[in-house]
Each structure stands twice: as structure tokens, then as C-alpha cells.
């Protein structure tokens, strides 16, 4: 049981798990902000436009009735009783789709701003020198093409580093084996 808790503690202590937890918490708070934006600012505008286009029916009034029940109001008029009727609420469905699209758009725009602020995708290259970037720009290459070249150079550097490390390990292994052989020869 102690081993289990020790492993669990190590798992929880990892940076990526903590980052994920922080992300979930911030995401929940951010979701409330985006939902308020869409429900309280953007959806009323969309409903108003729909009212103008449909002549008085907004999303909240788009139904397909399967079983209509009626009630009588104070004025003695027969009106539809939505509480007891069976209906498909197309307006709520369409509103949910619009809400999803608006939330996705807002998140996309915010992430795009954050990535630009951090320099991701904004022309910051990690594997090319400034002179190499200038050379590629003079050749007429776009930022995307230079980013692909930068990534390729990074992969090549990583492969070269891995190969050098493997060779160094092999050389040190050979050197150790050579020393062991010499010690054995000298002890005989």
C-alpha cells in the first residue's frame, strides 16, 4: 500500500499533471466568462436579428409540436401549454450550436493572441541563426516555409546529437572493454 501511495505522490508531483490541473481550473473559470459573453451579449444580438428576419419569432419560439396541450389564460384565451405539451425545441438546439461556434471562435482568438505574445508562430525560429533567416527571406520564402526549414534543421540537429551520444557511448564502452582486457592480460 505504501508503494502505491509513493507512486501516486510521484505521479501527482510531475509538472505536466500539475499543469493539467491548473488548466482544468482556469478552463472552468474561463468557460463561465465565455458563456456569459455568448449568452448575455452575442445571443441577444443574434435573436434580435432573427426577430427582424422572421417577423417576430426568435430562437426561443421555434418548436415542432408532437402533442399540443392548451390552457386558458386570465383573458379567457386558449394558449399552448408548453409545460404539458410534447415538442421538439429547435430553437434551443440551434442556440446551442451557435453558442458552441461562438465559444470556439473566442477560444481560437484568445489562443492566437497568446501564441503571438509568446512568439509561437510569430517568426521566432529556434534552430536557425538570424543570418540564415535573413537569407531565406531574401530568397522569398514565407514564414511558414522558414518554420518548416527551422523544424527540419532542429530534427537534423537532434539526430546528429543522438548519433554523437551513441558514438560516445560506444567509444566509452570500447575503451572500458579495452582497459578490462589489458587488466586481465597484466594479471595473467
CA–CA separation, 111 vs 102, rounded Å?
14
Which is more confidently placed, 163 or 170?
A: 163
Residue 63 has pLDDT above 60, yes or no: yes
Q: Are residues 110 and 184 in the same domain?
A: no
Does residue 174 fall inside a structural domain? yes
- Model pTM score: 0.45
CA–CA separation, 97 vs 43, rounded Å?
11
Q: Are residues 174 and 118 in the same domain?
A: no
Number of domains in the chain: 2
Does residue 86 fall inside a structural domain? no
| Contact (Cβ atoms closer than 8 angstroms) between residue 61 and residue 52 | no
In which band, very low, low, confident or very high, does the pLDDT at 170 lie, cut at 50, 70 and 90? low
Q: What is the pLDDT of residues 66-98, one digit of tens each?
A: 888 989 888 888 888 888 889 888 888 888 888
Burial group, residue 151, by CB count within 10 angstroms (0-12, 13-18, 19+): middle
- List alpha helices for the chain, DSSP H: 2-13, 15-37, 43-54, 90-118, 130-138, 143-187
User: Which domain covers residue 43, as residue numbers?
Assistant: 1-59+92-122
Does residue 147 fall inside a structural domain? yes
In this prediction, what percent of the chain has a pLDDT beyond 70? 85
Look at the block and give the residue holding cell 536557425.
128
Does residue 83 fall inside a structural domain? no
Q: Are residues 26 and 100 in the same domain?
A: yes
Q: What is the pLDDT of residues 9-28, one digit of tens each?
A: 776 666 566 677 777 887 78
Q: 79: which residues sit within 8 A by CB, 6+ positions away? A: 70, 71, 72, 73
Amino acid at each position: 500500500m505504501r508503494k502505491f501511495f509513493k507512486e501516486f505522490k510521484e505521479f501527482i508531483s510531475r509538472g505536466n499533471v500539475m499543469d493539467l490541473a491548473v488548466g482544468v481550473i482556469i478552463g472552468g473559470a474561463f468557460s463561465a466568462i465565455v458563456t456569459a459573453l455568448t449568452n448575455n451579449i452575442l445571443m441577444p444580438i443574434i435573436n434580435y436579428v432573427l426577430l427582424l428576419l422572421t417577423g417576430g419569432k426568435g430562437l426561443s419560439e421555434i418548436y415542432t409540436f408532437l402533442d399540443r396541450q392548451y390552457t386558458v389564460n386570465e383573458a379567457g384565451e386558449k394558449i399552448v401549454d408548453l409545460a404539458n405539451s410534447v415538442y421538439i425545441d429547435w430553437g434551443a438546439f440551434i442556440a446551442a450550436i451557435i453558442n458552441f461556434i461562438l465559444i470556439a471562435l473566442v477560444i481560437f482568438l484568445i489562443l492566437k493572441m497568446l501564441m503571438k505574445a509568446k512568439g509561437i508562430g510569430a517568426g521566432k525560429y529556434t534552430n536557425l541563426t538570424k543570418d540564415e533567416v535573413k537569407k531565406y527571406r531574401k530568397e522569398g520564402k514565407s514564414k511558414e516555409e522558414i518554420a518548416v526549414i527551422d523544424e527540419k534543421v532542429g530534427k537534423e540537429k537532434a539526430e546528429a546529437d543522438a548519433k554523437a551520444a551513441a558514438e560516445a557511448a560506444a567509444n566509452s564502452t570500447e575503451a572500458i572493454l579495452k582497459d578490462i582486457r589489458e587488466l586481465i592480460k597484466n594479471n595473467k
